[in-house]
Structure 1
Amino acid sequence: MTDVPIRRTVMSSGFRPWLITGHAEVRSVMADPRFAKDSQRVAELLDRHSLSGSDSVFGQSLLHHMLNTDPPEHGRLRTLVNKAFTPRAVERLRPRISEICDELLDALEGKTHVDLLAAYAVPLPVKVICELLGIPQADREMFRAWSNTLVSALPPEVVNEASAAMEQYLHGLVAAKAKEPREDMLSALVHAQVSGHRLSEDELVSMACLLLAAGHETTVNLIGNGLLALLTHPDQFAALRADRTRLPGAIEEFLRYDSPVNQATLRFTTEPVRIGGVEIPEGEFVILSIDSANHDTRVYDDADVLDISREAGSHLAFGHGIHYCLGAPLARLEAQLAFTKLLDRYDRIDLAVPEQQLEWRFSVVMRGLERLPVRLGLVRSAP
């Protein structure tokens, strides 16, 4: 974290947002209604800043979801899906998630050199969220490729192509669910009503995009980054193997130590706001650095040290306030089962390449590996 937790920054594009890095300051902004997120107003404000916000690479039917709206619209949209992600509702998914973990690990039987990201950390949450929403099996690899592109820092024309393809696909899927509903969340959303009104087709497509992307991207990185943290800290790995009751706390430390998300989505001031001794004028954009906030030495002793016994529950990896990640209970459950099954199955896991050779995804928002090659030792029989 920088010594000054709030400062104006200048990007190569000419964009001049305020960067906020301190834990207290980031947390405060996340809960402050004077920092808005409405996608239409963001586009208008970007135009005012001569940054072509109206030419977003994302179609409008991918933008109007609860992460890009403010109250009261935000509450209306979130109410529709909130019940599906409560801790009690998520707990009912435990047997199926456990089964998926076993299936993925069974497929590795006899293999000693594996990319654990491609073979385990990616397919687990993708399969869970796709089954939950009712995405056909044949379309899941295609969806994963689109999602990867949408959260990348690739050229706008590349992102635009993926955005258009996903938008077209989801419009078709929503139409199919409207005609022939199934026992899945997307069918339920298509036919749900709030105060007598149903979601528009664009709202449904946007909600589906958010749930599909957010429903797996964070979890993939939580599992991948957490595994890497253990592999590069053998003392902590040994401590976790010796005492599995530490796993829930270890997962919170993984979220803090190497957060799956680098920064929060864009916000802007609706009036002058004074925070951390600095006044940010009206109509200014702010970028919240989650990674920096989670390493704030004012909050965490030895912040750059991995310590699975640390009380890390105050981290901001899932956000804070009304936009706190709806899928946090699901991500935690998937991670707990993923690590438990992996440790049950293998007595030894080691990096197969030097840490310096690992590559990170080309993304401004997400923090995740491209690959995680490992050596697996002493395979136990499946439990």
Structure 2
Amino acid sequence: MEEIGKKRETTISENDCDEEQRAKIDVWRYIFGFTEMAVLKCAIELGIAEAMEAHGRAGISLSELATALNCSSSYLYRIIRFLVHLKFFKEKCSSTTNGTKHYTLTPLGRLLMKQGERGMAALVLLETSPFMLAPWHALSDRIRHNDRPAFEAAHGEDIWGFAAENPNHSKLINEAMACDARIVVPAVINGCADVFDGVESVVDIGGGDGTTLGMLVKAFPWIKGIDFDLPHVVSVAPERNGVEHIGGDMFKAVPQADAAFLMWILHDWCDEECIEILKKCREAIPQDKGKVIIVDAVIEGDDHGREKERSEEDHKLRGAKLMLDMAMMIHTNTGKERTREEWQYVLDNAGFSRFVVRPIRAVQSVIVAYY
């Protein structure tokens, strides 16, 4: 028995050592966590993905890439090596190239393209801009004092006031939101097309440059679209078929339509402000067939006992939503990502009779609230 006890102690001790070693590696990853973000920004600014895509499946050699981008091959190699490790790029050798490595894009790497329906470069460039990074340094102050939002502490005004006075930053925000729309709206259309049955008009609240609404009207051509946003936003919005641009304030009034559409809007505001916005939406839709369509994240309940039951994909998805929640705490005064119960609270208090949550192939879900 004594010998069995010693073996058990040895096993436990070895497990503790392994866990401690893994912890040390993880901490190093977190210490340099910003590296991934910075290298992605670098790759986008250099145009690496576009250069690789131009060479197709055959791939491009390091020397060809360095020539195309007019940069140092030695430094470029280290960037490429890092992004191969992260699975953005893939390297291959073949007899036809005399063993020279050639690089191609993976599906992940194609998301770094500035152009195209699936590119997410604009979102990366927004979140890695100095204006968006600076507030993160004030996170602990926000937690301790809760008296001044981190973005305001860094820049002297909230994110919306800053964007209104800085057209370049406002443009960056609009491009990022349009980028997100090109990814999320097809998921909404493919997963929830029936939500738009019988809807003849849609007002997109906080619709930016109208990208989202343009895609919805194209998919459902019977719909009349109203792009509703702040005057300085819609004043520079391009003309789109079937879309009317109207400037205004969603806290005061919302243009009338069969359905009010809010994508990535309500997570910017606290519960009381969401309730106020949703009440204006409810006033704008008809009682018999009106609905409010919300595209926002829904965080699963904090059931830690089920953590091991989640698939790796579900675990990553939850992690992305929790990261977004941190970003809301940094970049907005009172915004947050919500659980289903928190969504029920704001919708009930805004006077809606019922709602349903529809998952789609995106970080967001579709929440449909009925009059």
State if a TM-score over 0.5 links the two structures: no
Greater helix fraction, Structure 1 or Structure 2: 2
Greater strand fraction, Structure 1 or Structure 2: 2
TM-score for the superposition, normalised by structure 1: 0.24
Structure with the greater alpha carbon radius of gyration: 2
- Greater relative contact order (Cα 8 A, min sep 6): structure 1 or 2? 1
TM-score for the superposition, normalised by structure 2: 0.25
